[in-house]
Amino acid sequence: MATQITTGTSELRDITKMERIGAHSHIRGLGLDDRLEPRENSQGMVGQAKARKAAGMILKMVQEGRIAGRAMLFAGPPSTGKTAIALGMAQTLGPDVPFTMIAASEVFSLSMSKTEALTQAFRRSIGVRIKEETEIIEGEVVEIQIDRSLTGATKTGKLTIKTTDMETIYDLGNKMIDALSKEKVTAGDVISIDKTSGKVTKLGRSFARSRDYDAMGADTRFVQCPEGEIQKRKEVVHTVSLHEIDVINSRTQGFLALFAGDTGEIKPELRNQINAKVAEWREEGKAEIIPGVLFIDEVHMLDIECFSFLNRALENELAPLVIMASNRGVARIRGTNLYSPHGLPPDLLDRVLIVSTQPYTSDDIKHIIKIRCEEEDVTLTERALDILTHLAADTTLRYVLNLISCAQMLAKKRKSEIVEEVDIRRVYSYFFDEKRSVEWIKEQQHRLVSEEGVDFEPASKPTGKAPAQVEAMDES
Ligand SMILES: Nc1ncnc2c1ncn2[C@@H]1O[C@H](COP(=O)(O)OP(=O)(O)OP(=O)(O)O)[C@@H](O)[C@H]1O
Ligand SMILES: [Mg+2]
């Protein structure tokens, strides 16, 4: 293979997409105990016990590396916690297992083909844990001696470094002198030098020298002089995703593209080369594959081409666990005239494990409202909490959660720290929920601008009233 595949890990910092959606910031995990039983109210999660347990079981299998290339679908009415549970899963997985979250519609809005966008999402969700051995020089600096030439263009020097057992003198080149002076290394510092990259790290000051200087900054760290050999081999482990390796190695892009997020399309040949290289590393015991999780929210927004791509991609050897969520019942499969449960084609449905989320009881709703109030730093009176709980049963959980911060705003205007019944009543009159909005629109129908043929009452068939009136007018 001609191309050199690198992982770029020495430069790569943590660039995982930060996901902090306000609506779910109270979710800190799935709230399960060690036996995977859902706790009543834990880590911001309430109720929805079966779905949470199912999610926990799947996670356990992912963590043990037992499954990959499987798919799971959360199906249920709006605001029953599908997205919340997925985010809880992400939090439970820990930093080393990749979790990618996309909304299905993102696939259409990027400046690349749908399948490329999905492929990138898949490869983002596969981690490669790479073990690298590097040689380091570690010890306490005894002396640094630098000689500059008359013009200052060339520098030479000597570094004397010791451990408790030995002492060695190294000749220093230009680059090394620059690195040492940049870190302001002086005698008495304990340093570590990476031999391959030449990176100098200051570990602290030696205890033996602690009495030499009285005026030390408060942040000065004292460490013991290292023992044993000066040159050591050290194993470092880092995890990168396949997608990151792709981007770093695509010549037109380079790893800066990762920070810009503008990665464009990546050639399939390059991906094949990378797969082959990773397989080689695996055989040599240098790398380990960590299948992660890909979450596709609102999955019914994908179209038939994406679905057939998913069918194939799930069977790929390097496939993550794919979790999908949909709030549709029987719906049209995008890109066809066919109707199917959850808007997913039957052959894909056949491959997924379906977990359903149930509507919440009023006790659960009360708990969720309480949790959100803590998160948003809002204090409610008991009465206000009861009203909100009642309201949620009539309207939706989301509507009520949105009212909380608005009510707090009104309370503050009254110069009260506590949200009371009157604040809730006022925001309720300011902001409509969907039901009231539709009713109001129906009342105002003759004044609103509408497109011909739009029916404001989706449940009923067009009444045909309007044409009848027209006819009547014609007759008169
Ligand atoms: N079990 C739960 N515990 C705590 N909070 C929850 C729970 N379920 C849902 N929530 C909160 O309720 C709100 C609505 O839930 P979520 O967005 O997860 O619904 P959804 O099922 O994804 O709905 P949609 O189908 O409309 O996308 C969110 O703010 C979420 O954090
Ligand atoms: Mg959702």
What is the DSSP code string of 14-76? Answer: --PPP---GGGTT--S--B-TTSPBPSEETTEES-HHHHHHHHHHHHHHHTT---S-EEEEE-
Q: Do 2-125+239-356 and 362-431 come out as alike in CATH topology?
A: no
Rounded average pLDDT over 127-145: 88
Mean residue pLDDT of the chain comes to 82
CB of 89 closer than 8 Å to CB of 322: no
CB of 7 closer than 8 Å to CB of 277: no
CB of 186 closer than 8 Å to CB of 161: no
- Tell me, what's the pLDDT at 7? 63
Q: What is the CATH number of domain 132-229?
A: 2.40.50.360
Tell me the pLDDT band of 283, cut-offs 50, 70 and 90: very high
Q: What is the pTM of this model?
A: 0.72
Q: What is the CATH number of domain 362-431?
A: 1.10.8.60
Tokens (6 digits) for 271? 């991906």
Beta pairing partners, 72: 323, 353
Tokens (6 digits) for 474? 């014609």
Q: What is the CATH number of domain 2-125+239-356?
A: 3.40.50.300
CB of 323 closer than 8 Å to CB of 295: yes
| CA separation for the pair 118, 110 (Å, rounded) | 11
- Tell me, what's the pLDDT at 18? 43
Our answer on whether the CB atom of 44 is closer than 6 Å to any ligand 1 atom is: yes
Whether residue 154 is predicted with pLDDT greater than 80 in this model: the reply is no
How does DSSP classify residue 169?
A: E
- Tell me, what's the pLDDT at 474? 40
Our answer on whether the CB atom of 81 is closer than 6 Å to any ligand 1 atom is: yes
Whether residue 451 is predicted with pLDDT greater than 70 in this model: the reply is no
| CA separation for the pair 388, 400 (Å, rounded) | 6
Tell me the pLDDT band of 153, cut-offs 50, 70 and 90: confident
Question: In this predicted model, what pLDDT tens digit does every residue of 186-229 receive, in sequence order?
Answer: 888 999 888 877 788 888 888 877 666 555 666 678 888 888 88
Our answer on whether the CB atom of 86 is closer than 6 Å to any ligand 1 atom is: no
Pick the residue with more confidence: 332 or 450?
332
Our answer on whether the CB atom of 88 is closer than 6 Å to any ligand 1 atom is: no
Lowest mean pLDDT among 71-75, 183-187, 301-305, 445-449: 445-449
Beta pairing partners, 74: 325, 355
Residues with Cβ within 5 Å of ion ligand 2?
83
Our answer on whether the CB atom of 368 is closer than 6 Å to any ligand 1 atom is: yes
| CA separation for the pair 236, 378 (Å, rounded) | 46
Atom of ligand 1 nearest to the CA of 26: 31
Residues in the chain: 476
Whether residue 296 is predicted with pLDDT greater than 90 in this model: the reply is yes
- Tell me, what's the pLDDT at 445? 76
Beta pairing partners, 99: 293
Q: Where are the chain's structural domains?
A: 2-125+239-356, 132-229, 362-431, 436-475
Q: Are strands 200-206 and 222-223 parallel, antiparallel or unpaired?
A: parallel
pLDDT over 90 percentage in the chain: 34
Tell me the pLDDT band of 276, cut-offs 50, 70 and 90: very high
Question: In this predicted model, what pLDDT tens digit does every residue of 346-400 receive, in sequence order?
Answer: 999 998 999 999 999 989 999 999 999 988 888 999 999 999 999 998 888 999 9
Residue nearest to atom 29 of ligand 1 (CA): 23
